[in-house]
């Protein structure tokens, strides 16, 4: 069974999560869709399983990794997506590749200088650094084959300064675990985690679209405009 899971916490992500689920169902048949949420969060229409988990804002990055470990322990190899994503193509070849690797990471579309402040928190580690320097992979799409490697990723994140437990920690930890060369990690290019910037930017060769940050508002109009084209099945 192919597993795709996502974290949906609070009402802000609910509508986008529904669109994500619809896109998965259009493109990936016989796929178990798993929602990870708090007890008080509403269930997303179309999911097959729901894992309830406690999320605290100050340690959200740790909680997300902990919940992912629970998913892989219970269901086996899983692809984890952000709720602000739309799946455009069948991911069966990615699942096949995941069987041969501990992780699948996705490369960022662009390399740019980091902002060393987020939500009034200073990140001096990012000053004059590019994304390639500190976090070349975007955690919006990550495949995990086993809980052991995810536990190692969590441990790396735990050892980062406290501010990274709130934000950025998982992506900084991804680079660190990649650099250790201790695990088999396949890196896919950005067409599996494509940061979209324009609602007209449809390309059938893109596997997963990512409507990050200020572009979240484009997700619904993009879905309604192009979802009828979702579902081409060419491999990697």
Across the chain, what does the average pLDDT equal?
Answer: 95
Nearest alpha carbon to residue 68 among 173, 163, 219, 217: 173
- Give the pLDDT score at 232: 58
Full set of structural domains in the chain with CATH: 2-229 (3.90.550.10)
Contact 88, 230 (CB under 8 A): yes
* pLDDT digits 0-9 by tens, 76-91: 999 999 999 999 999 9
Is residue 23 within 8 A of residue 98, CB to CB? The reply is no
Tell me, what's the pLDDT at 199?
85
In Å, how far are 127, 140, 150 from 116, measured between CA atoms? 5, 20, 27
Query: What's the distance, CA 175 to chain centroid?
Result: 15
State pLDDT tens for residues 142-169.
Answer: 999 999 999 999 999 999 999 999 999 9
Q: How far apart are the first and last CA of the chain?
A: 20
Whether residue 235 is predicted with pLDDT greater than 50 in this model: the reply is no
Condensed to tens digits (0 to 9), the pLDDT of residues 187-233 reads 999 999 999 988 888 999 999 999 998 999 999 999 999 999 998 55
């Amino acid at each position: 069974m192919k597993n795709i899971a996502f974290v949906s916490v609070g009402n802000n992500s609910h509508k986008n999560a529904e669109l994500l689920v619809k896109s998965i169902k259009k493109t990936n048949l016989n796929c178990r869709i798993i929602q990870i949420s708090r007890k008080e969060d509403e269930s997303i229409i179309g999911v097959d399983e729901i894992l309830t988990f406690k999320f605290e804002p100050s340690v959200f990055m740790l909680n997300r990794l902990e919940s992912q470990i629970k998913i892989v322990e219970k269901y086996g190899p899983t692809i984890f997506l952000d709720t602000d994503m739309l799946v455009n193509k069948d991911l069966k070849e990615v699942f096949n590749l995941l069987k041969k690797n501990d992780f699948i990471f996705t490369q960022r579309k662009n390399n740019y200088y980091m902002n060393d402040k987020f939500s009034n928190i200073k990140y001096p580690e990012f000053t004059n650094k590019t994304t390639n320097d500190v976090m070349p992979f975007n955690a919006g799409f990550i495949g995990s084959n086993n809980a052991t490697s995810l536990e190692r990723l969590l441990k790396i994140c735990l050892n980062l300064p406290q501010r990274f437990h709130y934000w950025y920690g998982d992506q900084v930890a991804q680079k660190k675990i990649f650099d250790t060369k201790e695990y088999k990690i396949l890196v896919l290019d950005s067409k599996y985690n494509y940061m979209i910037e324009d609602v007209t930017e449809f390309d059938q060769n893109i596997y997963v679209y990512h409507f990050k940050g200020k572009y979240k508002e484009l997700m619904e109009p993009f879905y309604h405009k192009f979802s009828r084209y979702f579902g081409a099945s060419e491999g990697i």
